[in-house]
Structure 1
Amino acid sequence: MDEAADLVFDTALEPIGDVHRTRLGRAATEPMRADIRLLGAILGDTVREQNGDEIFELVERARVEAFRVRRSEIDRTQMAKMFDGIDIHRALPVIRAFSHFALLANVAEDIHRERRRAIHTAAGEPPQDSSLAATYLKLESAELDSATVAEALQGALVSPVITAHPTEIRRRTIFVTQHRITELMRLHAEGHTETDDGRSIESELRRQVLTLWQTALIRLSRLQISDEIAVGLRLYPSAFFKVVPQVNAEVRRALRDRWPGADLLSEPILKPGSWIGGDRDGNPNVTAEVVRLATGSAAYTALSHYLAELDQLEQELSMSSRLLAVTPELTALADGCRDKARDDEPYRRALRVIRARLSATGAEILFQQPQHQLDLGLPPYATPDELRADLDVIDASLRTHGSALLADDRLALLREGVHVFGFHLCGLDLRQNSDVHEEVVGELLAWAGVHPDYGSLSEDERVALLVGELATRRPLIGDRALGVCPHKWEVPPPACGGLSDRARSELDIIAAAAHAVQTYGPDAVPNYVISMCRSVSDVLEAAILLKEAGLLDASGPQPYCPVGISPLFETIGDLHNGATILQAMLDLPLYRRLVTARGDVQEVMLGYSDSNKDGGYLAANWAVYRAELALVEAARKSGIRLRLFHGRGGTVGRGGGPSYQAILAQPPGAVSGSLRLTEQGEVIAAKYAEPQMARRNLESLLAATLESTLLDVEGLGDAAAPAYAVLDEVAALSQRAYAELVHETSGFVEYFMASTPVSEIGSLNIGSRPTSRKPTSSIADLRAIPWVLAWSQSRVMLPGWYGAGSAFEQWIAAGPDAEADRLEVLHDLYQRWPFFRSVLSNMAQVLAKSDLGLAARYAELVVDESLRHRVFDKILDEHHRTIAMYQRITGHDDLLADNPALARSVFNRFPYLEPLNHLQVELLRRYRSGADDELVQRGILLTMNGLASALRNSG
Structure 2
Amino acid sequence: MDLKNLPITPLPSVKLDKHQEDLLLHNELFSNLLGETIFRYAGLHIYEVTEKLKEASSKYYKTQKQEARKNLSSFCSDLTDVEILRVIRSFSIFSALANIAEDVYQTHEQRYAKISNKLQIGSLEKSLKNLKNKGISQEKILKAMEKVSIVPVLTAHPTQVQRKSILDLTKKLTDILDKYENVKLHQIDENEWLNDLSRGIQIWWQTAMLRATKLRVTDEISNALSYYNITFFNEIPRLMNKFQEISKTLGNSELKSQALLPLTMGMWIGGDRDGNPYVTVNTLEKSAQEQAIKLFQHYLDVVREIYRDLSMSIAMTNVTEELQKLADASGEVSPHRTHEPYRRALTAIRDRLLATAYNLCEYNRDLLPPKRKNGVDIPYKSASEFTKDLVIVAESLKKNNSEFLTQGKLNNLISATKTFGFHLATIDLRQDSSVHEVCVAELLKSANILGDYLSLSEDARCEILLRELEYDPRILSDPTIPQSETLASELAIYRKAKSLRDRFGDKIIEKNLISHATSVSDMLEIAILLKEANLAKGNEGNEFCDLQIVPLFETVEDLIAAPNILRKWFNLSLVKKWMDKKGRKQEVMLGYSDSNKDGGYLSSSWSLYKAQKELTAIGREFDVEISFFHGRGGTVGRGGGPSYEAILAQPEGSTDGTIRLTEQGEVIGAKYGNPDLGLKNLEALVSAALESSALTAEDANWEEYEKIIEDVSELSYHAYRDLVYNTDGFSDFFFEVTPINFIAGLNIGSRPSSRKKTQSLESLRAIPWVFSWSQARIMLPGWYGVGTAFTKWINNDNKNMDILQRMYKEWPFFRSTISNVDMVLSKSDLSIFSEYVKLASDQETAQKIFNEIAKEWILTIDVLKKITGNDVLLADNPELVSSLRNRLPYFDSMNYLQIELIKRSRAGDNSEELKKAIHISINGLATGLRNSG
TM interval, shorter chain, is over 0.9
Does the 8 Å contact 1:664/1:713 carry over to 2?
no
Deviations 1:401-442 (A, max 9, x none): 222222223221111111111111100001000111111111
Residue 489 of structure 2, aligned match among 480, 505, 528: 505
The question of 1:136 aligning with 2:120 is answered: no
The question of 1:615 aligning with 2:599 is answered: yes
The question of 1:770 aligning with 2:752 is answered: yes
Give the superposition deviation at 1:635.
0.6
The question of 1:673 aligning with 2:657 is answered: yes
Does the 8 Å contact 2:158/2:768 carry over to 1?
no
Q: Which residue of 1 aligns with 2:714?
A: 732
**For the residues of structure 2 that align with 1:938 and 1:599, how far apart are their CA atoms?**
53
Aligned residues: 917
Q: Which residue of 1 aligns with 2:351?
A: 356
Give the superposition deviation at 1:534.
0.5
Does the 8 Å contact 1:605/1:644 carry over to 2?
yes
Give the superposition deviation at 1:190.
4.4
CA change 1:190–1:637 in 2 (3 A) is farther
**For the residues of structure 2 that align with 1:348 and 1:124, how far apart are their CA atoms?**
39
Q: Which residue of 1 aligns with 2:43?
A: 52
Q: Which residue of 2 aligns with 1:587?
A: 571
Q: Which residue of 2 aligns with 1:487?
A: none
Q: Percent identity?
A: 38
Does the 8 Å contact 1:714/1:834 carry over to 2?
no
**For the residues of structure 2 that align with 1:771 and 1:824, how far apart are their CA atoms?**
44
The question of 1:338 aligning with 2:331 is answered: yes
The question of 1:372 aligning with 2:372 is answered: no
**For the residues of structure 2 that align with 1:473 and 1:331, how far apart are their CA atoms?**
55
Higher normalized contact order (CA 8 Å, seq sep 6+, divided by chain length): 2
In the TM superposition, 1:828-843 aligns within 5 A as 828-843=806-821
Give the residue type in structure 2 aligned to 1:305. H
Give the superposition deviation at 1:393.
1.4
Q: Which residue of 1 aligns with 2:5?
A: none
Deviations 1:637-688 (A, max 9, x none): 1111111000000000000000011011000111101000000121101111
Give the superposition deviation at 1:479.
4.4
**For the residues of structure 1 that align with 2:66 and 2:190, how far apart are their CA atoms?**
48
**For the residues of structure 2 that align with 1:939 and 1:796, how far apart are their CA atoms?**
22
Give the superposition deviation at 1:859.
0.7
Give the residue type in structure 2 aligned to 1:83. C
Give the residue type in structure 2 aligned to 1:374. K
Does the 8 Å contact 1:569/1:606 carry over to 2?
yes
Give the residue type in structure 1 aligned to 2:29. L
Aligned-residue CA RMSD (Å): 2.1
**For the residues of structure 1 that align with 2:699 and 2:507, how far apart are their CA atoms?**
37
Residue 689 of structure 1, aligned match among 673, 676, 689: 673
Does the 8 Å contact 1:444/1:476 carry over to 2?
no
**For the residues of structure 2 that align with 1:190 and 1:622, how far apart are their CA atoms?**
49
**For the residues of structure 1 that align with 2:249 and 2:545, how far apart are their CA atoms?**
36
The alignment partner of 2:407 has SS state of helix
Residue 563 of structure 1, aligned match among 507, 529, 547: 547
Residue 300 of structure 2, aligned match among 289, 307, 319: 307
Q: Which residue of 1 aligns with 2:839?
A: 861
Give the superposition deviation at 1:154.
4.8
**For the residues of structure 2 that align with 1:954 and 1:776, how far apart are their CA atoms?**
23
**For the residues of structure 2 that align with 1:115 and 1:282, how far apart are their CA atoms?**
42
Deviations 1:544-596 (A, max 9, x none): 11111111223344643332111100000111111111111111111122223
Does the 8 Å contact 1:282/1:774 carry over to 2?
no
**For the residues of structure 2 that align with 1:28 and 1:337, how far apart are their CA atoms?**
53
**For the residues of structure 1 that align with 2:19 and 2:144, how far apart are their CA atoms?**
42
CA change 1:540–1:194 in 2 (3 A) is farther
Does the 8 Å contact 2:275/2:755 carry over to 1?
yes
**For the residues of structure 1 that align with 2:703 and 2:319, how far apart are their CA atoms?**
64
Larger mean CA deviation between 543-552 and 65-74 belongs to: 65-74
Residue 175 of structure 2, aligned match among 172, 183, 186: 183
In the TM superposition, 1:524-923 aligns within 5 A as 524-557=508-541, 559-711=543-695, 717=701, 720-814=702-796, 818=797, 820-923=798-901
Does the 8 Å contact 2:148/2:690 carry over to 1?
no
The question of 1:200 aligning with 2:178 is answered: no
**For the residues of structure 2 that align with 1:713 and 1:38, how far apart are their CA atoms?**
51
Give the superposition deviation at 1:806.
1.0
Does the 8 Å contact 2:9/2:826 carry over to 1?
no
Give the superposition deviation at 1:124.
4.2
Give the residue type in structure 2 aligned to 1:55. I
The alignment partner of 1:295 has SS state of helix
Give the superposition deviation at 1:842.
0.6
Q: TM-score, normalised by structure 2?
A: 0.95
The question of 1:173 aligning with 2:165 is answered: yes
Does the 8 Å contact 1:156/1:673 carry over to 2?
yes
Does the 8 Å contact 1:355/1:374 carry over to 2?
no
CA change 1:197–1:57 in 2 (3 A) is closer
Larger mean CA deviation between 66-75 and 415-424 belongs to: 66-75
Does the 8 Å contact 1:529/1:565 carry over to 2?
yes
Give the superposition deviation at 1:920.
0.5
Deviations 1:19-40 (A, max 9, x none): 5xx4x54666222111112111
Give the superposition deviation at 1:632.
0.8
CA change 1:472–1:359 in 2 (3 A) is farther
Does the 8 Å contact 1:622/1:727 carry over to 2?
yes
Give the superposition deviation at 1:399.
1.7
The alignment partner of 1:82 has SS state of helix
Give the residue type in structure 2 aligned to 1:547. K
The question of 1:33 aligning with 2:44 is answered: no
For structure 2, the 5+ residue unaligned runs are 1-7
Q: Which residue of 2 aligns with 1:443?
A: 442
The alignment partner of 2:10 has SS state of coil
Give the superposition deviation at 1:15.
7.1
In the TM superposition, 1:100-139 aligns within 5 A as 100-125=93-118, 127-139=119-131
**For the residues of structure 2 that align with 1:371 and 1:433, how far apart are their CA atoms?**
38
Q: Which residue of 1 aligns with 2:470?
A: 471
CA change 1:28–1:417 in 2 (3 A) is closer
Give the superposition deviation at 1:535.
0.6
Larger mean CA deviation between 98-107 and 648-657 belongs to: 98-107
CA change 1:124–1:353 in 2 (3 A) is closer
The question of 1:432 aligning with 2:427 is answered: no
Does the 8 Å contact 2:536/2:544 carry over to 1?
yes
Give the superposition deviation at 1:134.
0.7
**For the residues of structure 1 that align with 2:130 and 2:920, how far apart are their CA atoms?**
47
CA change 1:862–1:519 in 2 (3 A) is same
Q: TM-score, normalised by structure 1?
A: 0.93
CA change 1:898–1:145 in 2 (3 A) is closer
**For the residues of structure 1 that align with 2:258 and 2:350, how far apart are their CA atoms?**
28
Does the 8 Å contact 2:351/2:377 carry over to 1?
yes
**For the residues of structure 2 that align with 1:832 and 1:847, how far apart are their CA atoms?**
23
Larger mean CA deviation between 652-661 and 907-916 belongs to: 907-916
Q: Which residue of 1 aligns with 2:387?
A: 388
Give the superposition deviation at 1:539.
0.8
Deviations 1:897-952 (A, max 9, x none): 12111111123211111111111111101111211211111110011111111111
Give the residue type in structure 2 aligned to 1:324. T
Deviations 1:64-90 (A, max 9, x none): 211233322735332111011421111
